[in-house]
Structure 1
């Protein structure tokens, strides 16, 4: 089983149809993409000397070469390690080192940071900048036949959320990725070869997973020239491409629903907007449905079970006359076709509808484990079920509502932020004696990072600019706290453990109080 077979299949059936586009410009037809993939496979295997199972990381913003590299990695029998291009150099270094990455494909924007890691990571042998002379050298290699892979072989290492220590690499197999794609057809939307997927969100995250079912059906992958989500640009692309679907975080949808360039455009070619990754306020969703129409579908998933736990379909979003419509809009939908989902107590015993517990999931889409981390694998997959760490409840109709995350993960602007790494960055400052990082509700970003700081004994209160600089030296800019609060002490339990729940409750109460006092229009 090798997903790269899709390229050859479409090259035979629709050789001159557009496969990859940048804006309105066609970068490659299906025949061209298949030919380039075969040449890159030769470059990876022969020119770079990579062997079956070697890891190849992709560190770049969304661009056509990203997709070409990803499928060539698979065709060559290698394992793709998509890395969030917004990460700090040291964070990228951790992922490359932990995964044992042998080669990196990157772009000019990240070339300096990535190239500087050669010689510091034992496994890392080479860095290829795309586009560029080294990339062209790979493309000029003699075409190499596809390397057969088994369904249970690793295809993608997804470095996913963790709230203690470093992020873990969820090992996604070819079977996992195929099942995720088939599940899309079953539960979300049919796809035809005349459709397209707009890759506006990072390909290293959910957007990359959502691109797979579209590639599988021969739809065009469109990369926006802006590299992001822009209402005017999307409006222009809708005039050029038909059957458009794209994935967006709730914060992106909120912006688009208020963007006059998109709201006032001809939306006939806008097929679906898939959202997930963070809670979406009911008022924002209702406004988006009103301005952009019944084109929304919600997913709830994790890196360990890509885009597949539950879903709320377009039809359910549009069913406004249902007596429980608002309740359903605030849920994450019903279990997907290919999984079993349970809500359990602390002993993993099933709970009845209405009772809150941890969400567990089982199915062929669930990862076999974490890369090089047997202890975390055993803990997370105990009893044969993925323990999500999310807390929720089913209603009597089978709709799942998430009530909280037992993990302390912060999701801001659709990006995962791990509090401990922010705390560790702040603790490097000598004037910080103790710190707790959590999220507060934010109408624009979903959550904003807040740091509660206790000044070290005998030190003067640190300047917030100094604390921000301490973060920027060690972690990505988007993880930096948006607010610093100086406190005399942090709430703890009888064992001395910091109780972040109290801090979150305080921030939530403040946000609710502020919302109640906002002037009405």
Structure 2
């Protein structure tokens, strides 16, 4: 049950169907896509990669990304997609913790990883080693794997300050993909998947269902999110699906209002990864029509907890449409969702509690982290750490994020990660990091600092150790951090201070 078999089947069924594009340029049809993935697999095996070995992808969005991903799966190995925005030191930890055998990277990142003295073999995708891969004899097809075997190791930041490796199996990806077809959107051969958000995260994890139905896969030449480019590609290809963070949806709406494009050709935009303000989604539907679907998921249950259909997002006739629009929808087909009540009981409708989920999309645990696994998985249920309530119709509304995650531009930042870096400065006595509302990015990172360290020194320290998007946008001085009777920092009071300043 190798998820890669979906590519093999499509190559067998319609090898001439267009598959991979860079902008408007066709890079490979499904026959060539399959052949190149099979050659990469043969090359990995030749270099000693065995089923179950971890192979990392430290690349920005490109057709090569998908070829490498399926090559890893064809070889029976486990893909470790790494956020291309991470600092080399952060990547070094992931490669070391996962026991990665080999990592694909661009020339700049090859040098960064070399400087970070990582233990894995680093392969430059523009170098002779990778050229050799396409000349290697291809494997006949994906190596057989069991449904419970790992295929994707996703590192998600945690409150402990170190990323945790979410173990994702072939069964999980298949269940999630089929739930997409049932609960989110109907994929057709004439559709186009447009990758404007990182393929290492939500955007990339939707590639499988589009491969299964032989859709086109388009990577913008810019390698990222540019509203004008997206409008042009959508108009040129038509029937475009894309995943977007709420901040991206807002930017698309504003660009359309400014005359950058009409959104013609956009079929479906799935949004997730942060809070979507009602005014923004109402504005977006008014601008583009009923093309939006919301999903709620976590790395531990990728993209697969709830979904709010395009009808629910766009319907204004239902008497409770406003309340439903504020929700994240109802449970997807492959999972059960509950709200934890008192003791082990399920909370009644409307009562807040921790959101729980179980089913074939839920992870078996964290890689080499039994304590965190035991905390997250209880009695077969994933404890999401998110507080919410479910109404009598099954709609789930998020109330708070119990793990204090900051979501900026669709990317997660956990305060502890930043705090641990800042605490290494000798002139920092105390530090606490929180999120401050931001009109464009949802939230921005703000650090409250006790000590004499200079702002420029703190910023340089972060620049040397963590990704740019995690660096504080402001350093605010305090004589002491507010704490409760047990000595715990009161971040609620820090957020109140920000509100008072605003």
Q: If the TM-score is normalised by the length of the shorter chain, which range does it land in?
A: over 0.9
Distance (whole Å) between structure 1 residues aligned to residue 259 and residue 26 of structure 2: 26
CA shift at 1:165, angstroms?
2.8
> 476, 479, 491: which one pairs with 1:485?
476
CA contact (8 A) 2:255 2:261 kept: no
156-165 or 262-271, which moves further after superposition?
262-271
- Structure 1 residues 102-128: Cα deviation after superposition (integer angstroms, max 9, x where no partner): 00011123121123455x43xx2x211
Distance (whole Å) between structure 2 residues aligned to residue 484 and residue 116 of structure 1: 29
Task: Name the SS of the counterpart of 1:257 in structure 2.
Answer: helix
CA shift at 1:264, angstroms?
5.7
CA contact (8 A) 1:238 1:269 kept: yes
Task: Name the SS of the counterpart of 2:322 in structure 1.
Answer: helix
58-67 or 341-350, which moves further after superposition?
341-350
Task: Report the counterpart of residue 44 of structure 1 in structure 2.
Answer: 44
- Structure 1 residues 342-385: Cα deviation after superposition (integer angstroms, max 9, x where no partner): 11136342111111110000000000110111121111101110
Q: CA RMSD in A?
A: 1.5
> 265, 270, 274: which one pairs with 2:270?
274
Superposed, 1:81-480 pairs within 5 Å as 81-117=80-116, 120-121=118-119, 124=120, 126-145=121-140, 146-260=142-256, 265-345=261-341, 347-455=343-451, 461-480=452-471
Task: Report the counterpart of residue 495 of structure 2 in structure 1.
Answer: 504
Gaps of 5+ in 1: 456-460, 515-521
Task: Name the SS of the counterpart of 2:236 in structure 1.
Answer: coil
CA shift at 1:418, angstroms?
1.3
**1:261–1:20 CA distance, 2 compared to 1 (3 A):** farther
Task: Report the counterpart of residue 67 of structure 2 in structure 1.
Answer: 68
**1:148–1:380 CA distance, 2 compared to 1 (3 A):** same
CA contact (8 A) 1:73 1:80 kept: yes
Distance (whole Å) between structure 2 residues aligned to residue 77 and residue 300 of structure 1: 29
**1:196–1:128 CA distance, 2 compared to 1 (3 A):** same
CA shift at 1:431, angstroms?
1.5
- Structure 1 residues 242-270: Cα deviation after superposition (integer angstroms, max 9, x where no partner): 21010010111111100038866353421
Task: Report the counterpart of residue 11 of structure 1 in structure 2.
Answer: 11
Distance (whole Å) between structure 2 residues aligned to residue 23 and residue 84 of structure 1: 22
CA contact (8 A) 1:239 1:269 kept: yes
Q: TM-score, normalization: structure 1?
A: 0.93
Distance (whole Å) between structure 2 residues aligned to residue 295 and residue 215 of structure 1: 21
CA shift at 1:240, angstroms?
2.0
Distance (whole Å) between structure 2 residues aligned to residue 327 and residue 350 of structure 1: 22
Q: TM-score, normalization: structure 2?
A: 0.97
Do structure 1's residue 33 and structure 2's residue 29 form an aligned pair?
Answer: no
Task: Report the counterpart of residue 519 of structure 1 in structure 2.
Answer: none
CA contact (8 A) 2:227 2:260 kept: no
Task: Name the SS of the counterpart of 1:370 in structure 2.
Answer: coil
CA contact (8 A) 2:89 2:116 kept: no
Distance (whole Å) between structure 2 residues aligned to residue 79 and residue 17 of structure 1: 27
**1:433–1:275 CA distance, 2 compared to 1 (3 A):** same
CA contact (8 A) 2:262 2:288 kept: no
Task: Report the counterpart of residue 518 of structure 1 in structure 2.
Answer: none
- Structure 1 residues 137-191: Cα deviation after superposition (integer angstroms, max 9, x where no partner): 1111111233110000000001113112311000000000000000000001111
Task: Name the SS of the counterpart of 1:15 in structure 2.
Answer: coil
Distance (whole Å) between structure 1 residues aligned to residue 497 and residue 341 of structure 2: 26
Distance (whole Å) between structure 1 residues aligned to residue 115 and residue 258 of structure 2: 41
CA contact (8 A) 2:228 2:260 kept: no
- Structure 1 residues 71-119: Cα deviation after superposition (integer angstroms, max 9, x where no partner): 000000100000011111110001000000000011123121123455x
**1:445–1:348 CA distance, 2 compared to 1 (3 A):** farther
CA contact (8 A) 1:235 1:262 kept: no
Gaps of 5+ in 2: none
CA contact (8 A) 1:256 1:263 kept: no
